[in-house]
Amino acid sequence: ANAEINKVNMKNYLSDLVQTTNDDESTSILLKAYSSKQGEKAQTLPEIYNGPIYDACVANILAAPLVALAPTLAQLLRPGAQLGLSGIMSSQSDMILDSYAQYFEDLRIEKELGGWVLIVGVRKA
């Protein structure tokens, strides 16, 4: 619904971390579009959408969800993909750096402002 209102083409899908029901607004718009195109109801997207297909990821959410998402984000990013994480308090930066270090190189605090940090990195090969 939000994507439709803002005329955003939803090429992606909601990850398995997002639990939805068939009738709530957060059900993936792409699943609906895919179902419509194929003439059948899709329960999941084709496997080609479940691997490292993204060239970049930017997330502005709190530290705890970012820690939980580290393996998922890493799995979806191609080697060499750019990562930008914000919404992280300076005091929590080590927790994020530790969680993402096994998946990303050149992982560092790019900028700090008012007690918040921007962490960047590049997906390892």
Confidence of residue 54 (pLDDT cuts 50, 70, 90): confident
* Residues 48 and 94: beta-carbon distance below 8 Å: no
62 backbone dihedrals φ, ψ, rounded to 5°? -70, 160
Alpha-carbon distance of 46 to 8, in angstroms, equals 21
Max mean pLDDT among 34-38, 54-58, 119-123 falls in 119-123
99 backbone dihedrals φ, ψ, rounded to 5°? -70, -30
Output 31 or 107, whichever has higher pLDDT. Answer: 107
Confidence of residue 20 (pLDDT cuts 50, 70, 90): very low
Alpha-carbon distance of 68 to 63, in angstroms, equals 9
Q: Quick one: tokens of 98? A: 């530790």
Q: 72-91: per-residue pLDDT in tens? A: 899 889 999 999 999 999 99
Alpha-carbon distance of 82 to 105, in angstroms, equals 10
Max mean pLDDT among 14-18, 39-43, 60-64 falls in 60-64
